C-alpha cells in the first residue's frame, strides 16, 4: 500500500520535500541521548535528522505553557515540586531544573526547520499553543492528546492545524478519532507484545485513510520492529533514538567534522 501525502501537506501548509516519509519524530527530543524535553534534547534530535519533535505541555501557575511530560519534577529532576504550583519565574529559578517554555522550543523549531508534534498534557495548553503558532505563522506543527476533550475543543474552535488523538492498546482508534474530531490517529502500542507492528493491519490503515485520516506510530527503539514500521504508509514514527531512523544524518555529520 502506498500513500500520497501531498494533499495533507498542502492543506496544512507543511513544507513539501522536507524529508523522506515516514517522518522521524524525536520522542521528547532525542531522549535516548539527552534529558527528555530539554533544549539539548530537541537540538540533538534535529542534528540526528529528525523532521519533527514530540513534546509535552504543562502550565505554570501564572498561565505560561512549558515543555515537560510530568507536572511533578521528581522523576526527571529529582525535585519535589509541581510546575502547576509555581510561576514561570519560580520554575526558571530552580537550580538543576531545565524546563523550557513552549515559546522557546517553538523558536528553536523555526531556527532548525523542525516540526512540532505537540502532545497536550495540562488542560488549557492547546488554545495557547495554537495561538502562539498562529501568531508566528509556524505551520509545521500538529496538536494532539490522549484526552479527546482537549482535541475536540480545538476541533470545535476550527483549529487550522492538524489534530492528533493518541490511542492506547485495546482502544478503538476509529471511535476515538471520531470523538476527538482528529485528523491523525497516533497509535501508542509499543507495549503490545513482541510484534506490535502486526496490529497495524491493512484493514486498519484503509479505514483510517478512507475517513481522511493519517497515522502516526508509537516511539520505537527496537531496530527490527522499526525497520518494519518504516515500510508502512504512515505519516510519522516517534523514537527516542532518531539516529536509528536517520543513520545517514549521523554519517554526514561525522564526515563534516572530519572535513
Domain spans, the chain: 28-251
Does residue 256 surpass a pLDDT of 70? no
CB 169 within 8 A of CB 189: yes
Q: How does strand 52-59 pair with strand 23-27? A: parallel
Residues 200-234 have pLDDT tens digits of 999 999 999 999 999 999 999 999 999 999 999 99
* Dist CA 10 CA 214 (whole Å): 14
**What pLDDT score does 250 carry?**
65
Tell whether domain 28-251 is in CATH 1.10.3720.10: no
**What pLDDT score does 76 carry?**
98
Does residue 251 surpass a pLDDT of 70? no
Q: Residue 253: which pLDDT band, with cuts at 50, 70 and 90? A: low
Burial class of residue 181 in the structure, from the number of CB atoms within 10 Å of its CB (0-12 exposed, 13-18 middle, 19+ buried):
middle
Global pTM value: 0.95
| Torsional sign, CA 87, 132, 58, 35 | negative
Strands (E), the chain: 23-27, 52-59, 65-67, 115-120, 141-145, 163-168, 184-188, 214-219, 236-239
**Cell 498534557 sits on residue:** 121
Residue 118 sits at φ, ψ, to 5 deg, of -90, 120
Burial class of residue 190 in the structure, from the number of CB atoms within 10 Å of its CB (0-12 exposed, 13-18 middle, 19+ buried):
middle
Amino acid at each position: 500500500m502506498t500513500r500520497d501525502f501531498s494533499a495533507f501537506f498542502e492543506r496544512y501548509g507543511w513544507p513539501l520535500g522536507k524529508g523522506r516519509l515516514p517522518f522521524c519524530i524525536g520522542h521528547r527530543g532525542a531522549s535516548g541521548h539527552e534529558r527528555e524535553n530539554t533544549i539539548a534534547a530537541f537540538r540533538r534530535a534535529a542534528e540526528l535528522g529528525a523532521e519533527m519533535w514530540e513534546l509535552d505541555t504543562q502550565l505554570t501557575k501564572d498561565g505560561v505553557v512549558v515543555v515537560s511530560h510530568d507536572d511533578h519534577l521528581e522523576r526527571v529532576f529529582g525535585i519535589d515540586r509541581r510546575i502547576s504550583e509555581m510561576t514561570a519565574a519560580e520554575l526558571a529559578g530552580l537550580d538543576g531544573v531545565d524546563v523550557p517554555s513552549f515559546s522557546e522550543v517553538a523558536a528553536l523549531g523555526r531556527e532548525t526547520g523542525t516540526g512540532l508534534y505537540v502532545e497536550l498534557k495540562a488542560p488549557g495548553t492547546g488554545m495557547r499553543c495554537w495561538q502562539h503558532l498562529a501568531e508566528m505563522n509556524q505551520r509545521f506543527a500538529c496538536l494532539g492528546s490522549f484526552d479527546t476533550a482537549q482535541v475536540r475543543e480545538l476541533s470545535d474552535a476550527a483549529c487550522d492545524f492538524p489534530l492528533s488523538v493518541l490511542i492506547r492498546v485495546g482502544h478503538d482508534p476509529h471511535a476515538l478519532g471520531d470523538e476527538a474530531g482528529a485528523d491523525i490517529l497516533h497509535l501508542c502500542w509499543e507495549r503490545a507484545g513482541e510484534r506490535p507492528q502486526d496490529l497495524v493491519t491493512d484493514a486498519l490503515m484503509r479505514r483510517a485513510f478512507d475517513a481522511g485520516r493519517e497515522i502516526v506510530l508509537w516511539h520505537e527503539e527496537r531496530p527490527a520492529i522499526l525497520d518494519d514500521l518504516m515500510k508502512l504508509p504512515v505519516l510519522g514514527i516517534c523514537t527516542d533514538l532518531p539516529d536509528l531512523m536517520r543513520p545517514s544524518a549521523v554519517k554526514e555529520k561525522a564526515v563534516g567534522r572530519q572535513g
